[in-house]
Protein backbone atom coordinates (compact mmCIF):
# COMPACT_ATOMS: atom_id res chain seq x y z
CA UNK A 1 0.00 0.00 0.00
CA UNK A 2 1.37 3.43 -0.94
CA UNK A 3 2.24 6.13 1.58
CA UNK A 4 -0.61 8.32 0.32
CA UNK A 5 -3.07 5.44 0.64
CA UNK A 6 -1.93 4.80 4.21
CA UNK A 7 -2.33 8.49 5.00
CA UNK A 8 -5.83 8.49 3.51
CA UNK A 9 -6.84 5.44 5.56
CA UNK A 10 -5.43 7.00 8.73
CA UNK A 11 -7.34 10.23 8.06
CA UNK A 12 -10.56 8.26 7.55
CA UNK A 13 -10.11 6.39 10.83
CA UNK A 14 -9.21 9.61 12.67
CA UNK A 15 -12.25 11.42 11.28
CA UNK A 16 -14.52 8.55 12.34
CA UNK A 17 -13.14 8.39 15.89
CA UNK A 18 -14.72 11.59 17.22
CA UNK A 19 -13.63 12.45 20.79
CA UNK A 20 -16.00 11.47 23.59
CA UNK A 21 -16.92 14.13 26.13
CA UNK A 22 -15.57 13.47 29.63
CA UNK A 23 -19.12 13.33 31.05
CA UNK A 24 -19.85 10.29 28.88
CA UNK A 25 -16.93 8.04 29.78
CA UNK A 26 -18.62 6.60 32.89
CA UNK A 27 -21.64 5.57 30.79
CA UNK A 28 -19.40 4.03 28.14
CA UNK A 29 -17.54 2.15 30.89
CA UNK A 30 -20.79 0.79 32.39
CA UNK A 31 -22.14 -0.30 29.00
CA UNK A 32 -18.74 -1.81 28.11
CA UNK A 33 -18.58 -3.74 31.38
CA UNK A 34 -22.03 -5.22 30.77
CA UNK A 35 -21.04 -6.17 27.22
CA UNK A 36 -17.81 -7.79 28.43
CA UNK A 37 -19.69 -9.78 31.09
CA UNK A 38 -22.23 -11.06 28.56
CA UNK A 39 -19.51 -11.99 26.06
CA UNK A 40 -17.73 -13.89 28.82
CA UNK A 41 -20.89 -15.67 30.00
CA UNK A 42 -22.72 -16.23 26.71
CA UNK A 43 -20.36 -15.42 23.82
CA UNK A 44 -21.84 -14.74 20.35
CA UNK A 45 -25.36 -14.60 21.80
CA UNK A 46 -27.98 -12.08 20.72
CA UNK A 47 -27.76 -10.37 24.14
CA UNK A 48 -23.99 -10.05 23.82
CA UNK A 49 -24.31 -8.46 20.38
CA UNK A 50 -27.02 -6.09 21.64
CA UNK A 51 -24.83 -5.05 24.57
CA UNK A 52 -21.90 -4.45 22.24
CA UNK A 53 -24.07 -2.35 19.95
CA UNK A 54 -25.42 -0.40 22.92
CA UNK A 55 -21.87 0.36 24.05
CA UNK A 56 -21.09 1.72 20.60
CA UNK A 57 -24.24 3.85 20.65
CA UNK A 58 -23.44 5.32 24.09
CA UNK A 59 -19.97 6.29 22.83
CA UNK A 60 -21.59 7.78 19.73
CA UNK A 61 -24.14 9.73 21.78
CA UNK A 62 -21.48 11.42 23.92
CA UNK A 63 -19.30 12.38 20.95
CA UNK A 64 -17.83 15.86 21.13
CA UNK A 65 -16.63 16.86 17.66
CA UNK A 66 -14.53 20.01 17.17
CA UNK A 67 -16.32 22.97 15.61
CA UNK A 68 -15.18 26.05 13.67
CA UNK A 69 -17.08 29.00 15.13
CA UNK A 70 -17.53 32.32 13.25
CA UNK A 71 -16.13 35.06 15.46
CA UNK A 72 -17.44 38.31 14.00
CA UNK A 73 -19.11 40.53 16.58
CA UNK A 74 -22.89 40.54 16.32
CA UNK A 75 -23.30 36.97 15.14
CA UNK A 76 -25.42 34.58 17.19
CA UNK A 77 -24.55 30.94 16.55
CA UNK A 78 -26.62 27.88 17.26
CA UNK A 79 -26.10 26.52 20.77
CA UNK A 80 -27.02 22.99 19.68
CA UNK A 81 -27.10 20.44 16.89
CA UNK A 82 -30.56 19.51 15.69
CA UNK A 83 -33.56 20.58 13.68
CA UNK A 84 -35.11 24.03 14.00
CA UNK A 85 -38.54 22.92 15.19
CA UNK A 86 -40.21 26.31 15.65
CA UNK A 87 -39.64 30.05 15.43
CA UNK A 88 -42.08 32.14 17.47
CA UNK A 89 -42.43 35.63 18.91
CA UNK A 90 -43.25 35.17 22.58
CA UNK A 91 -42.80 36.74 25.96
CA UNK A 92 -39.77 35.11 27.57
CA UNK A 93 -40.29 33.10 30.77
CA UNK A 94 -40.41 35.33 33.85
CA UNK A 95 -37.44 33.58 35.46
CA UNK A 96 -35.13 34.95 32.75
CA UNK A 97 -35.72 38.54 33.86
CA UNK A 98 -35.84 39.77 30.25
CA UNK A 99 -39.00 41.86 30.61
CA UNK A 100 -42.43 41.43 29.06
CA UNK A 101 -41.66 42.52 25.49
CA UNK A 102 -41.96 39.78 22.90
CA UNK A 103 -38.74 38.25 21.60
CA UNK A 104 -38.01 35.81 18.82
CA UNK A 105 -37.58 32.31 20.21
CA UNK A 106 -35.72 29.80 18.05
CA UNK A 107 -36.31 26.22 19.21
CA UNK A 108 -33.90 23.44 18.23
CA UNK A 109 -34.98 19.84 18.72
CA UNK A 110 -32.24 17.28 19.39
CA UNK A 111 -32.98 13.68 18.52
CA UNK A 112 -31.13 10.81 20.20
CA UNK A 113 -28.78 10.77 17.19
CA UNK A 114 -27.64 14.40 17.45
CA UNK A 115 -24.57 15.73 19.25
CA UNK A 116 -25.83 16.77 22.69
CA UNK A 117 -23.14 19.26 23.70
CA UNK A 118 -24.42 22.84 24.02
CA UNK A 119 -22.26 25.81 23.05
CA UNK A 120 -22.50 29.51 23.87
CA UNK A 121 -24.22 31.47 21.08
CA UNK A 122 -22.30 34.67 21.87
CA UNK A 123 -19.36 35.83 23.95
CA UNK A 124 -20.07 37.55 27.24
CA UNK A 125 -20.80 36.99 30.90
CA UNK A 126 -23.38 34.57 32.29
CA UNK A 127 -25.59 36.97 34.25
CA UNK A 128 -28.19 34.37 35.23
CA UNK A 129 -28.31 30.59 35.60
CA UNK A 130 -31.68 29.25 36.70
CA UNK A 131 -32.90 25.68 37.24
CA UNK A 132 -36.66 25.07 37.01
CA UNK A 133 -38.06 21.61 37.91
CA UNK A 134 -40.92 20.36 35.80
CA UNK A 135 -42.44 17.65 33.65
CA UNK A 136 -40.88 15.45 30.96
CA UNK A 137 -43.24 16.04 28.05
CA UNK A 138 -42.24 15.49 24.44
CA UNK A 139 -39.65 18.23 23.90
CA UNK A 140 -41.06 18.91 20.41
CA UNK A 141 -44.28 20.25 21.94
CA UNK A 142 -44.60 24.02 22.24
CA UNK A 143 -45.72 23.84 25.88
CA UNK A 144 -42.48 22.05 26.80
CA UNK A 145 -40.85 25.52 26.98
CA UNK A 146 -42.99 26.34 30.03
CA UNK A 147 -43.84 22.98 31.58
CA UNK A 148 -40.71 20.80 31.26
CA UNK A 149 -37.70 20.62 33.52
CA UNK A 150 -35.14 23.13 32.26
CA UNK A 151 -31.94 25.02 32.92
CA UNK A 152 -31.69 28.58 31.60
CA UNK A 153 -28.71 30.84 31.22
CA UNK A 154 -28.71 34.51 30.22
CA UNK A 155 -25.55 35.77 28.56
CA UNK A 156 -24.86 39.50 28.68
CA UNK A 157 -22.91 39.84 25.44
CA UNK A 158 -19.93 42.07 24.83
CA UNK A 159 -22.29 44.25 22.73
CA UNK A 160 -24.58 44.76 25.72
CA UNK A 161 -27.38 42.48 24.47
CA UNK A 162 -28.97 39.83 26.68
CA UNK A 163 -29.44 36.45 24.99
CA UNK A 164 -31.02 33.50 26.77
CA UNK A 165 -30.47 29.78 26.16
CA UNK A 166 -32.79 27.25 27.75
CA UNK A 167 -31.91 23.55 27.97
CA UNK A 168 -35.18 21.61 28.10
CA UNK A 169 -35.51 17.98 29.16
CA UNK A 170 -37.70 15.67 27.05
CA UNK A 171 -39.41 12.30 27.18
CA UNK A 172 -36.13 10.39 27.40
CA UNK A 173 -33.85 13.09 28.80
CA UNK A 174 -33.62 12.98 32.58
CA UNK A 175 -30.46 14.91 33.25
CA UNK A 176 -29.43 18.43 32.30
CA UNK A 177 -25.75 19.20 32.88
CA UNK A 178 -24.35 22.74 32.89
CA UNK A 179 -20.59 23.25 33.04
CA UNK A 180 -20.60 27.06 33.27
CA UNK A 181 -22.00 28.92 36.27
CA UNK A 182 -23.46 32.33 36.96
CA UNK A 183 -20.81 35.04 36.81
CA UNK A 184 -18.51 33.12 34.45
CA UNK A 185 -17.17 34.71 31.29
CA UNK A 186 -17.72 32.57 28.22
CA UNK A 187 -16.58 32.71 24.60
CA UNK A 188 -18.81 32.16 21.59
CA UNK A 189 -18.83 28.47 20.66
CA UNK A 190 -17.48 27.44 24.07
CA UNK A 191 -19.10 24.34 25.59
CA UNK A 192 -21.42 25.17 28.46
CA UNK A 193 -23.57 22.08 28.96
CA UNK A 194 -25.28 18.95 27.67
CA UNK A 195 -28.58 17.13 27.98
CA UNK A 196 -28.59 13.35 28.12
CA UNK A 197 -30.68 11.43 25.60
CA UNK A 198 -33.02 13.62 23.54
CA UNK A 199 -33.98 17.21 24.30
CA UNK A 200 -34.56 20.74 23.08
CA UNK A 201 -32.77 24.07 23.33
CA UNK A 202 -34.55 27.44 23.05
CA UNK A 203 -32.72 30.65 22.17
CA UNK A 204 -34.31 34.03 22.92
CA UNK A 205 -32.92 36.75 20.66
CA UNK A 206 -32.83 40.43 21.61
CA UNK A 207 -36.07 42.23 20.75
CA UNK A 208 -36.30 43.50 17.19
CA UNK A 209 -33.91 41.03 15.60
CA UNK A 210 -34.86 38.45 12.95
CA UNK A 211 -33.57 34.87 12.75
CA UNK A 212 -31.46 33.76 9.78
CA UNK A 213 -32.68 30.16 9.97
CA UNK A 214 -36.03 28.64 9.10
CA UNK A 215 -38.21 25.87 10.50
CA UNK A 216 -37.01 22.45 9.37
CA UNK A 217 -33.41 23.58 8.84
CA UNK A 218 -30.61 21.54 10.37
CA UNK A 219 -28.43 23.50 12.77
CA UNK A 220 -24.86 22.71 13.80
CA UNK A 221 -23.93 23.80 17.30
CA UNK A 222 -21.20 26.41 17.40
CA UNK A 223 -21.25 26.92 13.61
CA UNK A 224 -24.69 27.69 12.17
CA UNK A 225 -25.50 31.42 12.33
CA UNK A 226 -29.03 31.86 13.64
CA UNK A 227 -29.02 35.68 13.80
CA UNK A 228 -26.88 38.70 12.97
CA UNK A 229 -27.44 41.53 15.44
CA UNK A 230 -25.71 43.98 13.09
CA UNK A 231 -27.93 43.12 10.13
CA UNK A 232 -31.38 44.37 9.13
CA UNK A 233 -31.94 41.40 6.82
CA UNK A 234 -35.51 40.13 6.74
CA UNK A 235 -36.48 36.86 8.37
CA UNK A 236 -35.64 33.90 6.14
CA UNK A 237 -38.29 31.58 4.80
CA UNK A 238 -37.89 28.04 3.51
CA UNK A 239 -38.13 27.71 -0.26
CA UNK A 240 -40.95 25.42 -1.23
CA UNK A 241 -40.00 22.65 -3.69
* 3-class DSSP state of 32: helix
- Asked whether the beta carbons of 161 and 73 are under 8 A apart, the reply is no
CA 87 – CA 105 distance, rounded (Å)? 6
Q: What number of CA atoms fall less than 13 Å from residue 190's CA on the CB side?
A: 15
Q: Across the chain, where does the E strand assignment appear?
A: 75-77, 82-90, 103-110, 117-119, 124-132, 150-157, 162-169, 176-178, 185-186, 191-195, 199-204, 218-219, 225-228
Query: 169: closest CA among 143, 139, 126, 209?
Result: 139
Catalytic residue among 107, 145, 157, 199: 199
100: DSSP letter: S
**Of 24, 102, 8, residue with least CA distance to 57:** 24
Check if 123 is active-site: no
Give the residue numbers annotated as catalytic, written as ranges.
199
Amino acid sequence: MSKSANHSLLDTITDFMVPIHSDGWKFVAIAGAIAAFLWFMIPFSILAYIALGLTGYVAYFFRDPPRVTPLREGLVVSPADGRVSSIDRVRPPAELGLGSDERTRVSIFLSVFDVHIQRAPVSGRISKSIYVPGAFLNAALDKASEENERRSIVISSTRGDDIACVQIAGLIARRIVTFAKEGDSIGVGERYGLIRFGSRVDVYLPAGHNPLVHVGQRAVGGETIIADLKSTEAERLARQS
